């Protein structure tokens, strides 16, 4: 009997150690937001509370508020995660790299290759109305003069299922083409950064360079099927949403394959 009780105590202690180790695999994190640029792109700062390691997601313009926060809180900015290579999601990167020269820029190789023909493609396919639209706003007019070569070469070409660490916080990448061929969603815990794949009650357009409606449908439905309904979605534009409500309430793509506009 004593031997049995001793074994139970040992197993209990081992179980408690296992729980502690499991809990220690990740850490609390916080997400901050700043609206950037003339097309109002959402830029997010995510950081570990204990490690103070941080990443910026889609700096589409100046992010002075987030940069100030990083400095004042002595955060270690490790990564710039790019959900896709459109100018309204990368415009602020050169300034950030000048301030934080050790930061690593991360994007999919397919979208990097498209950066250098993007402006000419848009002018050719969208016509003079596109140029007039950009010129109509001082913030968007800057896009016409932006040199994509100023971004430099990505430090990391992101692949599907690749993982990144901010302290003990693990961030995973999911290749989600459609709006662009190299679209990437990033997720951790109950949070999904969806870029321009999934918005509140709609999805990203596909009349873009190498865009694909079929890929977009597959990507959005993969998000629906992969993540719990409670998953909070932080999109590249517009307000946050959640997977559960988009499955049935999205006006463009729902989980029901017979219900799509």
How far, in Å, are 37, 86, 108, 120, 134 from residue 162 at the CA level? 29, 21, 11, 32, 35
Task: Look at residue 6 and tell me if it is in a domain.
Answer: no
**Domain-located, residue 49:** yes
- Asked whether residue 35 is assigned to any structural domain, the reply reads yes
Average pLDDT value for residue range 58-82: 98
**98 burial level (CB within 10 Å; 0-12, 13-18, 19+):** exposed
Q: How many CA atoms lie within 13 A of 233 on its CB side?
A: 31
Evaluate whether 43 touches 59 at the Cβ level (below 8 Å): yes
Note down the domain range covering 233.
28-249
Residue-wise pLDDT for 71-112, tens only, equals: 999 999 999 999 999 999 999 999 999 999 999 999 999 999
pLDDT tens-place string over residues 130-149: 889 999 999 999 999 999 99
Q: 175-207: per-residue pLDDT in tens?
A: 999 999 999 999 999 999 999 999 999 999 999
Q: What is the CA radius of gyration of the chain?
A: 21
Is residue 190 in a domain?
yes
- Identify the DSSP state of 158: -
Q: Rounded distance, CA 162 to CA 184, Å?
A: 10
Tell me how far apart the alpha carbons of residues 123 and 169 are, in angstroms, rounded to a whole number: 41
Residue at 20 is within a domain: no
Whether residue 256 lies inside any domain: the answer is no
Q: Does 15 fall in a domain?
A: no
Sort 8 into a burial class: Cβ within 10 Å, 0-12 / 13-18 / 19+: exposed
**Cα separation of 156 and 1, whole Å?**
58
Domain count, the chain: 1
Question: For residue 140, what is the domain's CATH number?
Answer: 3.60.15.10
pLDDT digit string, tens, across residues 240-254: 999 999 999 999 999
Domain annotation covers residue 227: yes
pTM of the model: 0.89
């Amino acid at each position: 009997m004593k031997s049995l009780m001793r074994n139970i105590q040992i197993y209990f202690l081992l179980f408690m150690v296992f729980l502690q180790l499991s809990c220690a695999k990740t850490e609390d994190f916080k997400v901050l937001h700043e609206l950037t640029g003339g097309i109002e792109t959402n830029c997010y700062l995510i950081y570990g509370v204990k490690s103070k390691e941080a990443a910026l997601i889609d700096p589409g313009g100046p992010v002075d508020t987030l940069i100030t926060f990083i400095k004042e809180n002595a955060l270690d900015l490790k990564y710039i995660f790019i959900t896709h290579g459109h100018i309204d999601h990368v415009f602020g990167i050169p300034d950030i790299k000048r301030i934080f020269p050790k930061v690593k820029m991360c994007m999919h190789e397919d979208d990097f290759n498209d950066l250098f023909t993007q402006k000419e493609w848009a002018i050719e396919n969208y016509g003079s109305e596109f140029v007039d639209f950009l010129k109509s706003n001082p913030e968007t007019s800057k896009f016409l003069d932006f040199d994509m070569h100023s971004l430099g070469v990505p430090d990391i070409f992101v692949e599907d299922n690749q993982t990144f660490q901010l302290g003990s916080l693990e961030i995973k990448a999911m290749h989600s083409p459609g709006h662009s061929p190299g679209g990437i969603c990033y997720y951790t815990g109950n949070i999904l950064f969806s870029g321009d794949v999934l918005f509140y009650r709609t999805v990203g357009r596909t009349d873009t360079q190498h865009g694909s409606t079929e890929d977009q449908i597959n990507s959005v439905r993969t998000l629906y099927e992969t993540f719990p309904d409670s998953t909070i979605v932080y999109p590249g534009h517009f307000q946050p949403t959640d997977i559960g409500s988009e499955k049935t309430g999205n006006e463009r793509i729902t989980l029901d394959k017979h219900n799509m506009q």
